[in-house]
């Protein structure tokens, strides 16, 4: 009986929450028309119970102009979404590690053209199985893999089938748990170094520099950073990026004291539902260690430069501010624009034109280029070589977080929710609303 009462209470709490939201919606109405437009776009996802809640932050000319949320960041703990709520940002780690790499380039400790084997000798001997199909004859490396290849996903490495890997070898990654998402909480393979040691035993799926294959490349960069700096990746990233940018809420493993601000992870609820109407289409993510509401709690994972970070919208905005502001932190130059601006140039082989990302992300990813950890969306009939034709820069995390930088309009925005895998990407519409 008591459990049923709990359920009933939960039901009433939900009703109450709806009422609170209703009054909150009234507040929104007196806010800016832009905020209202964002609410019109995003609120239905919560109202239709696709996700438990979201947070959106938009900045224009360096000032926050939208601070919008609805629902819950953790339903069980009654945690409301906000700019100081910690979210697992997954692949939004990649731009941070890319920036750290450029910082090392500036310090003269590394060149983007350096072959990876200079740091991890086993990369000299990896083989290639074209298209990742184990039936194809094995080839030797046509040329060495470089840091540039790793940062642009053109190294020939791939991802586990659980993420975006689509080749036969991606299945081998999955079977081994190689750079698996769930390994971030509990690694089957051990440390970052152990993962790399396993990775070099497997063949590449394409020759380096040929095809954009979304990959563990930036995880390998993470290992290179460890080797170059002589420090574990979390320390290296903290020193190269997080501390200089005052990103105080960005962690691979959050301190215990911040646990109460950590959002819960959700995933699609796969269930039959034989009656009409709207019902809850998400459920708590099932693959975390017992008692953990999200990634970023456990020390038993590996340090992932590709996907390991937990951050807040307020913190991530600091990164986007630096990138939008000529790589200055306040008045101080953090990174030379000459090096930093590499992030705003298409770094993919010209032969891929603007179709490179379609291989992994489907037809909606056409008209897109890629720099270092950052996608480049083109305007209609645009050309990637002309920076004037770049509509906006963006990337997203596997748990449905995303950001964009609209340099021409001096706008950037961050969207946070926790739904693994991403099913509700509204970036294109969000970019338009701020214009």
Partner 1 sequence: MDSRNVNAAKCRRVIRSLFIVVLFGVSVPSLFAETVEYDQAKLAEIKVLLDGLYEKGQIPNYAVEIRKNGKSVYAAYRGDTELGGSVPVGPDTIFWVASMGKPIVSSAVLKLIQDGDLSLDDPLSKFFPQFESMVVAPMGDLDVPFEIARAPITIRNLLTHTSGFTYNPLVLGLGDVAYQYAELEVMSQKFSLAENLEMLAQIPLVAQPGASFNYSVSVDVLGAIIEKVTGKRLGEYLDEIFFKPMGMTDTAFRVRPEARKRFARFYTPESLRNPASTIAGSEIEWQIVETAPFGLPYDGWGQAPTFDSGGGGLYSTAQDFLKYAEMVANGGVLNDVRYLSAEIAAIHFQDLMPELGLEAFEVAFGEAAQYMKFGGGFGIKLEEDGSDRADYYFWGGAANTFFWIDGQDGNVGVFFTHIWPPRYNLSDQIEALVDGARIVK
Which residues of this chain interact with partner 1, rule CB under 8 A? 1, 3-4, 7-8, 11, 14, 162-164, 268-281, 360-365, 396, 398, 421-423, 425
- Smallest distance from partner 1 to CB 335, Å: 29
Specify the residue, 188 or 269, whose C-beta has the smaller distance to partner 1: 269
- Smallest distance from partner 1 to CB 4, Å: 6
- Smallest distance from partner 1 to CB 137, Å: 27
Specify the residue, 269 or 435, whose C-beta has the smaller distance to partner 1: 269
Specify the residue, 117 or 280, whose C-beta has the smaller distance to partner 1: 280
- Smallest distance from partner 1 to CB 360, Å: 7
Q: At what angle do helices 33-47 and 2-30 cross, to 10 degrees?
A: 160
- Smallest distance from partner 1 to CB 367, Å: 13
Specify the residue, 108 or 362, whose C-beta has the smaller distance to partner 1: 362
Lay out the sheet containing 402-406: strands in order across. Answer: 63-71, 53-60, 411-416, 402-406, 390-396, 375-378, 368-370
Specify the residue, 30 or 275, whose C-beta has the smaller distance to partner 1: 275
CB neighbours of residue 68 within 10 Å: 20
Q: Report the C-alpha gap between 56 and 41 in whole angstroms.
A: 11
Specify the residue, 275 or 351, whose C-beta has the smaller distance to partner 1: 275
The candidate with the shortest Cα–Cα distance to 238, out of 100, 330, 105, 395, is 100
- Smallest distance from partner 1 to CB 162, Å: 7
- Smallest distance from partner 1 to CB 419, Å: 9
Specify the residue, 35 or 360, whose C-beta has the smaller distance to partner 1: 360
Specify the residue, 156 or 397, whose C-beta has the smaller distance to partner 1: 397
Specify the residue, 244 or 284, whose C-beta has the smaller distance to partner 1: 284
Q: What values do phi and psi take at 355, rounded to 5?
A: -115, 5
- Smallest distance from partner 1 to CB 267, Å: 10
- Smallest distance from partner 1 to CB 257, Å: 31
Specify the residue, 272 or 331, whose C-beta has the smaller distance to partner 1: 272
Specify the residue, 271 or 350, whose C-beta has the smaller distance to partner 1: 271
Q: Report the C-alpha gap between 375 and 357 in whole angstroms.
A: 9
- Smallest distance from partner 1 to CB 87, Å: 16
**∠ CA(404), CA(408), CA(411), 5° rounding?**
40
- Smallest distance from partner 1 to CB 422, Å: 4
What's the 3-state SS for the chain?
Answer: CHHHHHHHHHHHHHHHHHHHHHHHHHHHHHCCHHHHHHHHHHHHHHHCCCCCEEEEEEEECCEEEEEEEEECCECCCCECCCCCCEEECHHHHHHHHHHHHHHHHHCCCCCCCCEHHHCCHHHHHCEECHHHCCCCCCEECCCCCEHHHHHCCCCCCCCCCCCCCCCHHHHHHHHHCCCCCHHHCCCCCCCHHHHHHHHCCCCECCCCCCCCCCCCHHHHHHHHHHHHHCCCHHHHHHHHHHCCCCCCCCECCCCHHHHHHECCCEEECCCCCCCCCCCCCEEECCCCCCCCCCCCCCCCCCCCCCCCCEECHHHHHHHHHHHHCCCEECCEECCCHHHHHHHHCCCCCHHHCCCCCHHHHCHHHCCEEECCCCEEEECCCCCCCCHHHEEEEEEECCCCCEEEEEHHHCEEEEEECCECCCCCCCHHHHHHHCC
């Amino acid at each position: 009986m008591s459990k049923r009462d709990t359920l009933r209470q939960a039901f009433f709490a939900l009703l109450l929450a709806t009422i609170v939201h209703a009054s909150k919606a009234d507040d929104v109405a007196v806010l800016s028309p832009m905020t209202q437009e964002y609410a019109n776009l995003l609120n239905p996802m919560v109202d239709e119970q696709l996700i438990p809640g979201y947070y959106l932050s938009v900045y224009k000319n360096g000032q926050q102009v939208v601070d919008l949320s609805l629902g819950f960041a953790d339903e069980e703990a009654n945690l409301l979404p906000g700019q100081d709520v910690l979210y697992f940002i997954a692949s939004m780690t990649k731009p941070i590690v890319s920036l750290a790499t450029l910082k090392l380039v500036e310090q003269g400790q590394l060149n983007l053209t350096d072959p990876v084997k200079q740091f991890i000798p086993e990369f000299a001997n990896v083989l290639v199985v074209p298209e990742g199909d184990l039936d194809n004859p094995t080839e030797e490396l046509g040329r060495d893999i470089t840091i540039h290849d790793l940062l642009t996903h053109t190294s020939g490495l791939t991802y586990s089938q659980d993420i975006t890997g689509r080749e036969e070898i991606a299945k081998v990654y999955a079977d081994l748990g190689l750079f698996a998402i769930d390994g971030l909480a509990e690694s089957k393979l051990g440390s970052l170094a152990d993962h790399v040691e396993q990775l070099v035993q497997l063949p590449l799926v394409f020759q380096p520099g040929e095809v954009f294959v979304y990959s563990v490349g930036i995880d390998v960069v993470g290992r290179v950073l460890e080797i170059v700096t002589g420090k574990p990746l979390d320390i290296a990233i903290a020193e190269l990026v997080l501390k200089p940018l005052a990103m105080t809420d960005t962690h691979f493993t959050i301190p215990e004291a911040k646990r109460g601000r950590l959002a819960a992870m959700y995933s699609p609820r796969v269930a039959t539902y034989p009656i009409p109407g709207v019902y809850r289409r998400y459920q708590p993510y099932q693959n975390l260690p017992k008692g953990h509401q999200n990634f970023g709690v456990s020390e038993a994972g590996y340090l992932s430069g590709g996907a390991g970070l937990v951050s807040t919208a307020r913190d991530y905005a600091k990164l986007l501010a630096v990138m939008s502001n000529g790589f200055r932190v306040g008045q101080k130059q953090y990174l030379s624009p000459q090096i930093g601006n590499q992030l705003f140039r298409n770094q993919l082989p010209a032969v891929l034109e603007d179709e490179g990302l379609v291989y992994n992300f489907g037809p909606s990813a056409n008209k897109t280029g890629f720099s270092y950890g950052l996608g480049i969306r083109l305007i209609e009939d645009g050309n990637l070589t002309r920076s004037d034709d770049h509509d906006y820069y963006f990337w997203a995390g596997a748990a449905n977080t995303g950001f964009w930088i609209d340099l021409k309009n001096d706008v950037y925005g961050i969207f946070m929710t926790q739904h693994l895998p991403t099913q509700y990407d509204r970036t294109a519409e969000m970019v338009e609303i701020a214009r």
